[in-house]
Amino acid sequence: MPDSYDLFDVMSTCRAMRRLRPDPVDDDLVRRLVEAANFAPSGRNLQRARWIVVRDPEQRRHIGELNRRASFDHATAERDASEGARRRMWDAVLWQTEHMHEAPVILVAVCIMDDPEQDPGRYASSIWPGVQNLLLAARAFELGATPTTYALAFRDELERVLELPPHVRAQAVIPIGHPMGNFGPVHRQPVEQVLMDDRWRPT
């Protein structure tokens, strides 16, 4: 198992791996992923992110069911309306919908808020850099990890499952496991199509 890769190689091959094997993931590896997430910057360096590692089968079943309820109809409709690579992507989303509970680890990113009445979304910029660090670390260790926010459609139920206090809110759900598929180059638009100087221009 490699301890590191060239950073650009990791980023350019960090595919969304939604189909995961149920094989256990070593506890030390999960700790390394959370360590990587913890290195990320946060607003005012307040370090509000916390990472709940869910291994208990019943907890995983609850979270998987919330994800299924939120995603199945939408993903099915998108799959049926798509072709080619996009249809294959939605097939993978649907597979995850049915099998999320089988992932050996489901990691939930949560955020400590100043006030429970605030919009949890205002804290996203302090959480998602950590999520991205975690995804890159997972890729370096040849683990699949793809975040989803579908279950946040039932945020209150999710937070009850996790027994979160009122000032701690869920931000993302990340199944983690050994992927069934292979990592490889991601397909993205050329930089020339997404880079703009000084102001917006049509592409």
**CA–CA dist 197, 176 (Å, integer):** 38
Q: Calculate mean pLDDT across residues 156-172.
A: 97
pLDDT bracket for residue 2 (50, 70, 90): low
Sequence-ordered alpha helix ranges (H) in 81-154: 84-99, 128-140
- Our count of domains for the chain comes to 1
- Residue 178 structure tokens: 């050994």
Residue 77 within any structural domain of the chain: yes
- Residue 202: per-residue pLDDT: 84
Q: What pLDDT sits at residue 40? A: 98
Judge whether residue 4 has pLDDT over 70: no
* C-alpha span between 92 and 90 (Å, rounded): 5
Confirm whether 2 is domain-assigned: no
What is the domain range of residue 81?
7-194
203 found inside a domain: no
202 belongs to a structural domain: no
Within a domain: residue 199? no
- Would 145 be classed as within a structural domain? yes
Does residue 26 sit within a domain? yes
Tens of pLDDT, residues 105-119: 999 999 999 999 999
pLDDT grade, residue 5 (50/70/90)?
A: low
* pTM (two decimals): 0.93
CA distance 76 to 93: 9
DSSP state of 5: -
- Amino acid residing at 27: D
- Per the domain annotation, does 201 fall within a domain? no
Average pLDDT of 77-88?
96
- Over 80: is that where the pLDDT of 186 sits? yes
CATH code for position 174 = 3.40.109.10
